[in-house]
Amino acid sequence: MRADTTSLLQRLGQKDFRYREFHDAFADMELWPIFEALLADERVVGRPMSALAEKEAAMRASEAKHYAPAARPADSPDMFSRYAEPGPAAASRPGDDLRGFLGQLSSKNSG
Amino acid sequence: MPLLLCHSPKGGVGTSFIAAQLAIALAERGHEVTALDFTFQDSLKLYFGLLPAQPLPNMVTHVGEATVVSGVELLAAHELGSDPGFRKRLNADAASPFAGDRFYIADLAAGDRETKDLLLPHALLHICVMDPRPGSLVALSKVQPGTPTIELQNTAFILNQLDDTHRLSRHSHIFLRELVGDRLIGTVRRDEAVNEAAAMFEPIGRFAPASVALADLAKLAIAVERRCGLGLTPEAQS
């Protein structure tokens, strides 16, 4: 241990440091592009990518069916927008799908 | 008895350091351990506090007294990887040279895929060391060419140089944990004392007994024992 470290510990009246750990929850993990690239790489995840494609399609279909907001026709006044036909679903964030896939992998690993 | 094969597809992630510390930690837990340095760099001994000019006995030709440091027998094995007799024996159906009651821990250079492929069928466990940097992460695609990384059942991953104060480091940890599950058998926190100890030619256990890395390595040795189906030896229990 370095002399200045020892001196600091003495002044603090401690024998050792207590390390603070900064844990992120899974939900807080940012999907860095490098993670997304690895999850799309068959050399890393193998065939399950087809499962991802299926999952993405299922999620999009589900969102389109249940959660699609009413789209406002470009030439409609606001007051009539609620009566407009549902438009295409808002695009889901790709990160959500990949996070779901990673979650699936995780439950597969623990199972 | 187990051959633990320490090899990473990416160099510079601390494979030799982990191999050395794992050997020391397993020896402290009462196992007989031999560390085999298959690298040309010959740097494994540095983590045992030996000088660069201090030669290690050759695995095949050495006679007489062994070099034992911190309870670990050290052998140079770089030339062995290309030795025809050794290759022939490993490729034959004869008894493995790693049979016996002793842990063999092989430290392999990242680029030495040939020796890795030669030893892998004899390894009880392949230990793949990584660090939380992009260069190491992308190498996940090359851990064992031909087999997707998430399907490698005989490979255990260790995340070295983890620094929880850095975002990418934390997120890489979570990512790897979710990707490979319990095959991520441990993490070793980044500690400059590791480099300082090597520069002083002292084992980290002597140079910085309070090092966080050391505490992580002790946990790692237990995790390796479990992966190998081994418990505490009677000597370590007493």
Q: Identify whether A3 is part of a domain.
A: no
User: Per the CB < 8 Å rule, is A22 touching B170?
Assistant: yes
Q: Identify whether A2 is part of a domain.
A: no
| Residue reference for tokens 């007051």 | A79
Q: Identify whether B236 is part of a domain.
A: no
Q: Which domain holds residue B186?
A: 3-230
pLDDT in tens, chain A (111 residues): 678 888 888 888 887 776 666 666 777 788 899 999 999 999 999 875 555 655 665 565 566 545 444 444 444 444 444 444 444 444 444 455 666 777 776 666 665
Q: Does B219 have pLDDT greater than 50? A: yes
Report d(CA B78, CA B115) in Å as an integer. 9
CB < 8 Å to B10, chain A: none
Task: Tell me the two tokens of residue B225.
Answer: 């024992």
Which chain A residue has the Cα nearest residue B134? Answer: A34
Q: Identify whether B218 is part of a domain.
A: yes
Question: What CATH number does the domain containing B23 carry?
Answer: 3.40.50.300
Q: Identify whether B235 is part of a domain.
A: no
Q: Identify whether A107 is part of a domain.
A: yes
Average pLDDT of span B18-37:
94
CA B105 to chain centre: 6
Q: ipTM of the assembly?
A: 0.86
Q: Identify whether A111 is part of a domain.
A: yes
Q: Which of residues A21 and B50 earns the better pLDDT score?
A: B50
Q: Is B181 helix (H, G, I), strand (E, B) or coil?
A: helix
Q: Identify whether A50 is part of a domain.
A: yes
- Which residues on neighbouring strands pair with residue B74, listed in sequence order? B35, B67
pLDDT of residue B229: 82
Report H helices in chain A. Answer: 3-12, 33-39, 42-45, 48-66, 94-110
Q: Which domain holds residue A59?
A: 24-70+90-111
Q: Identify whether A34 is part of a domain.
A: yes
For chain B, the domain total comes to 1
pLDDT tens-digit profile of B65-122? 789 999 999 999 988 877 888 888 787 766 677 777 789 999 999 999 999 999 999 9
- Please name the member of A1, A32, A46 whose beta carbon is closest to the beta carbon of B151: A46
Report d(CA B182, CA B178) in Å as an integer. 9
For chain A, the domain total comes to 1
Provide the pairing of β-strand B67-69 with B72-76. Answer: antiparallel
pLDDT of residue B17: 96
Torsional class of B161: left (φ above 0), alpha (ψ -120 to 50), beta (otherwise): left
Q: Identify whether A43 is part of a domain.
A: yes
Which chain A residue has the Cα nearest residue B152? Answer: A44
Q: Identify whether A28 is part of a domain.
A: yes
Would you say B72 and B24 are in contact if contact means Cβ atoms under 8 Å apart?
Answer: yes
User: Per the CB < 8 Å rule, is A23 touching B164?
Assistant: yes
